[in-house]
């Protein structure tokens, strides 16, 4: 039986209710803080994120070893992430998301707000994204209420100041776009090439190539990033390199099922 993509609503019971109160204040409405009024992004803490990963893995009845084999992420890293003891890089949490068939919108949805299939315009007000602090990058995920998107828009802060080693380079299927809002960054590639970007500069590249961002301005740089899922052309090229037979040509079907010779868009794993 083909496994279906997981949605955040399946694990909603694992999210902490920050509005619970005890005693005589149980029914009192929580006061809005000045930070909330100013539109400060919601932060997805490591513990909550870890519970989502563990719930998704248990949903399939998989062991840590099996998930490690599927994702390429070590058992130790997965175990520590599930316990909320470790922040993950984009490369690692995207690899786990693909293995768990867990959409990025579901993975980083705001606590208590289930992601629903992408079916129309998705609005994210200023300061209303969901923040996850990674190893060298803070991600404010935008449009997290929609699952099945082909792109992941991110407002990011680059914390890294230098390259420590090969493990700092991220690699993941798809393509990537970055636009510098403030400050300056160096984009390092694993082949030794470095591209300098200042405010207003942008870069588009194949994200399968190892890459890393470093802030080189006095203040940490802020960027807008857009990451796409793996295109059908890229997937076919990868499968051809691996010796896999090319997929059969699409068959004609009932109206609405095929667009331009390709299947209609559907929710897909990331």
* 23 Rama sector, left if φ>0, alpha if ψ -120 to 50, beta otherwise: left
State the pLDDT at residue 181. Answer: 98
Cα 251 from Cα 239, distance rounded (Å)? 21
Q: What are phi and psi of 146, to 5 degrees?
A: -110, 125
Q: Which residues contact 66 (CB under 8 A, 6 or more apart)?
A: none
What's the pLDDT at 240?
59
Strand order in the sheet with 202-206: 42-43, 130-133, 137-141, 151-158, 222-228, 175-182, 202-206
Instruction: Give residue-wise pLDDT tens across range 177-210.
Output: 999 999 999 999 999 999 999 999 999 999 999 9
Q: Assign a CATH topology to domain 42-117.
A: 434 Repressor (Amino-terminal Domain) (1.10.260)
Contact partners, residue 107, CB within 8 Å, separation at least 6: 8, 49, 52, 93, 97
Cα 97 from Cα 89, distance rounded (Å)? 12
Q: Whole-angstrom Cα distance, residue 115 to residue 224?
A: 22
Burial of 78 (0-12, 13-18, 19+ CB in 10 A): buried
Provide the 10 A C-beta neighbour count for residue 124: 18
Domain map of the chain by residue range? 42-117, 150-232
* 42-117 and 150-232, same CATH topology: no
CA–CA distance, 55 with 49 (Å, rounded to integer) = 10
CB 105 within 8 A of CB 144: yes
Pick from 96, 120, 116, 92: which is nearest to 106 by CA? Answer: 116
Q: If one looks up domain 150-232 in CATH, what number appears?
A: 2.60.120.10
**DSSP run (H or E) holding 266:** none
d(CA 51, CA 94): 16
Which residues in the chain show pLDDT less than 70?
1-41, 105, 110-114, 230-270
Residue written as tokens 């599927």? 70
Confidence (pLDDT) at 241: 55
Query: What is the rounded CA–CA span in Å between residue 7 and residue 238?
Result: 28
């Amino acid at each position: 039986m083909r496994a279906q993509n997981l949605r955040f609503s399946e694990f909603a019971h694992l999210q902490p209710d920050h509005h619970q109160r005890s005693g005589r204040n149980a029914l009192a409405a929580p006061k809005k803080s000045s930070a909330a009024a100013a539109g400060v992004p919601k932060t997805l803490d490591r513990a909550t994120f870890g519970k989502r990963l563990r719930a998704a893995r248990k949903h399939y009845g998989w062991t840590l070893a099996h998930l490690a084999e599927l994702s390429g992420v070590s058992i130790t890293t997965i175990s520590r992430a599930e316990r909320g003891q470790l922040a993950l890089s984009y490369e690692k949490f995207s690899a786990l998301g693909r293995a768990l068939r867990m959409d990025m919108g579901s993975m980083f949805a705001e606590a208590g707000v289930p992601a629903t299939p992408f079916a129309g315009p998705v609005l994210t007000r200023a300061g209303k994204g969901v923040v996850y602090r990674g190893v060298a990058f803070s991600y404010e995920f935008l449009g997290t209420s929609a699952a099945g998107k082909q792109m992941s828009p991110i407002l990011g802060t680059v914390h890294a100041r230098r390259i420590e080693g090969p493990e700092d380079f991220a690699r993941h299927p798809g393509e990537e776009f970055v636009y510098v809002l403030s400050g300056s960054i160096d984009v390092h590639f694993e082949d030794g090439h470095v591209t300098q970007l200042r405010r207003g500069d942008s870069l588009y590249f194949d994200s399968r190539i190892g890459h890393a961002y470093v802030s080189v301005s006095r203040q940490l740089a802020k960027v807008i990033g857009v990451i796409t899922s793996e295109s059908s052309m890229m997937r076919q090229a990868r499968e051809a390199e691996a010796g896999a037979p090319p997929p059969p040509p699409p068959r004609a079907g009932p109206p609405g099922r095929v667009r331009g010779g390709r299947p209609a868009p559907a929710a897909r794993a990331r």
